[in-house]
Amino acid sequence: MATRVRWLGHACLYIESAEQRLLIDPFLTGNPAAACKADEVDADYILISHGHADHVGDAIDIAKRTGATVISNYEISEWLKGKGVAKVHGQQHGGAHAFAFGRVKLTLAFHGSVLPDGAYGGNPCGFLLYLNDGTKIYDAADTGLFGDMRLIGEEGIDLAILPIGDNYTMGPDDALRAVTLIGPKRVLPIHFNTWDVIAQDAEAWAARVRKAGKTEPVVLEPGAWLDVDASKRAKKGQLRSRPRSLKRGTRRRK
Ligand code: NI
Ligand code: MN
């Protein structure tokens, strides 16, 4: 099964890969941009980037209904346990772990993380997903720009998911700089237009990404799907066993 990504609005993403269903930052109830209701989504895994209500969202209800395993930082995973979520998995920055769909590494994110009830939410994170089909997805989650995004780019990212809303996260200018640092094959902007304070013209931003020349921007409406098929590269005769970072490096020097 090819990897498919569906933007459910704000920072909420649904990913199908390796017969597994992943839900990231499932804020649907009370989300003015939500593409569906919380009781309409299924998940085998739920990933939570930080403690804010627009990311934890419906995670507890969905985890209890579906029996999904919730992946987040250690502090949030312990908090969820206390709320009656049966299957949690805590990690920390730089640490990766293998799941049925592939590996997840927590990345840095410059942001806050207090939980909805005021509890300490640990450090906020982004996610680097090494999916079993070879696809690499980097969801920066809520963060400002930071120079170490360059290190994440060295992994050879197929799809970067970046906030462009400004105010709480990177705005369009810094998100454009992030694209340059990461050098992903494609980039999907999120965390904008949910409320007036983060209103942005995503198409105008995409035009700037396109002009920069190396990354294909993909602007979705909430509810729309994106195929992220690593096999497309293989069809072009590239060896999938060869490290992608090496291929990208070669391409850049041309
Ligand atoms: Ni936040
Ligand atoms: Mn947020």
C-alpha of residue 169 to centroid of ligand 1, in Å: 8
Q: Which fold has domain 4-253?
A: Metallo-beta-lactamase; Chain A (3.60.15)
- CA of 214 from ligand 1 middle (Å) equals 29
Given this model, what pLDDT does residue 13 score?
Answer: 98
Give pLDDT tens digits for 43-60.
999 999 999 999 999 999
For residue 249, name the pLDDT band (cuts at 50, 70, 90).
very low
Ligand nearest to the CA of 24: 2
Quote the percentage of the chain above a pLDDT of 70: 90
- The alpha carbon of 22 and the centre of ligand 1 are apart by a number of angstroms equal to 20
Residue-range domain boundaries for the chain: 4-253
pLDDT of residue 235: 41
What spacing in Å lies between the alpha carbon of 25 and ligand 2's midpoint?
9
The ligand whose atoms approach the alpha carbon of 163 most closely is 2
* DSSP string covering 17-63: ETTEEEEES---TT-TT-SS-GGG---SEEE--SSSHHHHTTHHHHH
Residue 2: which pLDDT band, with cuts at 50, 70 and 90?
confident
Distance (angstroms) between ligand 2 centre and the Cα of 93 equals: 19
188 is written with which tokens? 């999907």
Give residue for tokens 């498919």.
Answer: 4
Q: What pLDDT, in 10s, does the model give residues 149-198?
A: 999 999 999 999 999 999 999 999 999 999 999 999 999 999 999 999 99
Phi then psi for 162, rounded to 5 degrees?
-125, 140
